[in-house]
Amino acid sequence: MKRLGIISSTVLGKSKTFENLEERTVENEFGKATVLISDTAAYIPRHGKNTKHHILPHLINHKANLKALKDLGVEEVVGTNSTGSLKRHLKPGMLVVPDDFIMFSGGPTIFNTKPVHITPVLSEEVRQKLIEAAHDCNMDVINGGVYWQTTGPRLETRAEISMMAQFADLVGMTMGDEAVIAGELDLHYASICSVDNYAHGLEEKELTMEKILWHARRNAGSIVKIVVRYMERREG
């Protein structure tokens, strides 16, 4: 069986399922990627393993990361992404499996010398497997939603959020880049998103990184269980 590719924050590394994986540096034409490997999984900590040297969203080498997974024989990739809610009914603590995204910032591409134009999508097969894994764990997830990717690392203004909320449900800084590069590499990619805060302006309280991280830590255990169940289902 081919390995499942996983791209996440460092939260998965705190799970017993992932704590003893072999660390490997995989080098390709786009750079180097740190990959934690077992016979069944290839896990990339998106922001690096060292919490004191957090790789900011706009500095992540998505091309090297996803090409490393491709070179390791991966065909399916699960992303876990922290997001802000653009809708009042999507409350912090909820989990969403989006089915589309908006990204007007261009983003990275593996093609620099030839005209290749893909139509980016989120894999419906991987999406449904994530939803089924969540149901196996007796967890509720929102099926569908539009993710709006911003460049980061700054958060968004009230006016920006007001505009985005007319067209999307979630806002984040990484999923769109990963989905595009995955598509260019013919990898099947989808994400489970943790709603960690209301976006700027949706509530009167000041939005802070401390509040975002608090909700992210609360959702971490649920996401780990869903990803582990996804892997178990693949193994039969």
pLDDT value of residue 117 = 86
pLDDT value of residue 186 = 97
pLDDT at residue 145 tops 90:
yes
Question: pLDDT tens across 4-35, in order?
Answer: 999 997 666 667 777 788 999 999 999 999 99
Higher local confidence (pLDDT), 178 or 17? 178
SS3 223: helix
Give CA separation, 231 vs 9, 17, 130, 203, 225, in Å: 18, 10, 10, 37, 10
Instruction: Please compute the mean of the pLDDT values over residues 109-115 and round it to a whole number.
Output: 85
Question: Is 147 within 8 Å of 157 (Cβ atoms)?
Answer: no
pLDDT at residue 164 tops 80:
yes
SS3 196: strand
The domain limits of the chain are 4-235
pLDDT value of residue 166 = 97
CATH topology of domain 4-235: Rossmann fold (3.40.50)
| E-state strands within the chain | 4-8, 22-28, 31-37, 41-45, 76-85, 95-97, 100-102, 142-143, 146-149, 170-172, 188-198
Structure tokens at 171: 């806002």
Instruction: List the helix and strand counts (H, then E) for the chain.
Output: 5, 11
pLDDT at residue 116 tops 90:
no
Report d(CA 73, CA 182) in Å as an integer. Answer: 13
pLDDT value of residue 89 = 96
